[in-house]
Amino acid sequence: MGFLDINNVTKSYGAMEVLHKVDIQVQEGEFLVLVGPSGCGKSTLLNMIAGLEGISSGEIAIKDRVVNNVAPSKRNIAMVFQSYALYPNMTVGKNITFGLEMQGTPKSERDAAMADVAKLLQIENLLDRKPGQLSGGQRQRVAMGRALVRNPDVFLFDEPLSNLDAKLRVDMRTEIKKLHQKLGTTIVYVTHDQIEAMTLSTRIAVMYDGYVQQLGTPKEIYDNPANLFVATFMGSPAMNVLNAQLVEMNGALHARIAGSEGQQVNLRIENAPEAYRAYVDREVMFGVRPEAITDPEGADRNARNIQAMTNTVSVTEPAGADTFVSTTLSGRDCIARMRADADVHAGQPFEFAVNMDKAVLFDPKTEDRIA
């Protein structure tokens, strides 16, 4: 049993089931991120944990207490909303203590709690202002203050950074992570931004179409995606997915891909899982992340199996820290992420180094990982 148990929870609107048998156990102090494109059901799930939406079947328990029929205010949770949802008619101080006031906490205790939180978030000088007089970042802090002051069992965040500009978003992201490390609270956090998911979480649930596609640590999700959706959704630029054929040559398995000049590119696979056997001489989807395709000098020194391939460069995009290099493989643009000073030119053939340790194969029909 976890700290927050989501047991086979479904959500239906009439005959339409929008969330199918979600099963997640969250441990105390964990930072779980629900990530997925819009309409995947992540916000619905969060609202169900909060008690703002009913549960069609299954159970949600917080600290071993089933809360299916418990009012939101009695679940000992706090929520930070995307729009911050600060009460516009109240000062920042009132906003922060409104929840305590509703619970009947005496004023002296409320003021003490407010002072603590204000100090923690460095908003002491804002307490007498109205939300309308605050900047986006300040509103975000106040919204977190309102959640923190209640000292809840579980924090729920609903896309809290989506309304901030790019720079502030990165700053607040770091701040949320610091806060989590400092307070060790249990957090469930919804976002559509895979970078937020990767950077903040201790575990990620990737959701799509009402299903949890994969639940795991950021590294598991990134390196061992369960299916094609997870592979392409997580990571930016997205994982390259190429049509390939699995062939056996000289006693080793190879992924055979069509090159830009019609030539065959054969990439040897070492330590192939047993499951690959069934796909010999069949079509597969070959997935490889941009950073696993480099120039030979820039290849990962710890990689065990680096395969060389020569192909024509179509475009180079210097991005400062890296240079993104496009090349056509099996009729599609394939992106490689190289050192900034890699000597690569558009229109010329180039020897790419593919780190095959990081390559993954998918079944073209089911789109599941072959492993």
Partner 1 sequence: MALASSDNAVRSSNVARFFIYLVLILFALFYLLPFGIMLVNSLKPLEEITGGNMIALPREWTIAPWLSAWSTAQIGVQPTGLRPYFINSIAMAVPAVAISTIAGALNGYVLTKWHFKGATWIFGLLLFSCFIPFQIVLIPMARILGLLNISGTTYGLILVHVVYGIGFSTLYFRNYYAAFPTELVRAAMIDGAGFFQIFWRIMLPSSGPIIAVCCIWQFTNIWNDFLFGASFASGGSAPMTVALNNLVNSSTGVREYNVHFAGAIMAAAPTLLVYIVAGRYFVRGLMAGSVKG
- Which among 37-45, 95-103, 180-188, 357-365 is the span making contact with partner 1, rule CB under 8 A? 95-103
Q: How far apart are the first and last CA of the chain?
A: 29
Question: Distance of CA 323 to CAs 166, 193, 337, 349, Å?
Answer: 22, 23, 6, 17
CB of residue 185 vs partner 1: minimum separation in angstroms?
Answer: 16
Cis peptide before 237 (omega within 30 of 0): yes
Residues composing the chain: 371
- DSSP states of 273-314 as a string? -GGGGGGTTEEEEEEE-GGGEE-GGGS-TT-S-EEEEEEEEE
Options 8, 12, 27, 73; binder of partner 1; rule CB under 8 A:
73
CB of residue 191 vs partner 1: minimum separation in angstroms?
Answer: 16
Options 70, 85, 115, 370; binder of partner 1; rule CB under 8 A:
85
Q: By C-beta, is 134 or 204 nearer to partner 1?
A: 134
CB of residue 90 vs partner 1: minimum separation in angstroms?
Answer: 8
SS3 assignment, position 206: strand
Residue 100 gets which letter from DSSP? H
Judge contact between 269 and 356, C-beta under 8 A. yes
- Which among 67-75, 191-199, 255-263, 299-307 is the span making contact with partner 1, rule CB under 8 A? 67-75
Judge contact between 292 and 330, C-beta under 8 A. no
Residue 19 CB coordination number (10 Å): 25
- DSSP states of 169-184 as a string? HHHHHHHHHHHHHHH-
- DSSP states of 6-51 as a string? EEEEEEEETTEEEEEEEEEEE-TT-EEEEE-STTSSHHHHHHHHHT
Subset of 6-65 contacting partner 1 (CB under 8 A): 50-52
- Which among 77-85, 108-116, 185-193, 342-350 is the span making contact with partner 1, rule CB under 8 A? 77-85
Residues near partner 1 (CB under 8 A), total: 22
CB of residue 74 vs partner 1: minimum separation in angstroms?
Answer: 8
Options 37, 54, 72, 184; binder of partner 1; rule CB under 8 A:
72
98 interacts with partner 1 by CB under 8 A = yes
Residue 343 gets which letter from DSSP? -
Burial 120-138 (b: 16+ CB within 10 A, else e): bbebeebbeebbeebeebb
320 interacts with partner 1 by CB under 8 A = no
99 interacts with partner 1 by CB under 8 A = yes
CB of residue 117 vs partner 1: minimum separation in angstroms?
Answer: 14
Residues 6+ apart with CB under 8 A from 74: none
Which among 130, 186, 128 has a CA at the least distance from the CA of 155?
186
Q: By C-beta, is 87 or 125 nearer to partner 1?
A: 87
**Site pattern 124..143 for partner 1 (x: CB under 8 A):** --------------------
Q: By C-beta, is 23 or 101 nearer to partner 1?
A: 101
Options 10, 18, 70, 81; binder of partner 1; rule CB under 8 A:
81
- Which among 13-21, 87-95, 267-275, 351-359 is the span making contact with partner 1, rule CB under 8 A? 87-95
Q: By C-beta, is 30 or 158 nearer to partner 1?
A: 158
Binding residues for partner 1, per CB under 8 A?
Answer: 50-52, 71-74, 77-79, 81-83, 85, 87-89, 98-99, 102-103, 146
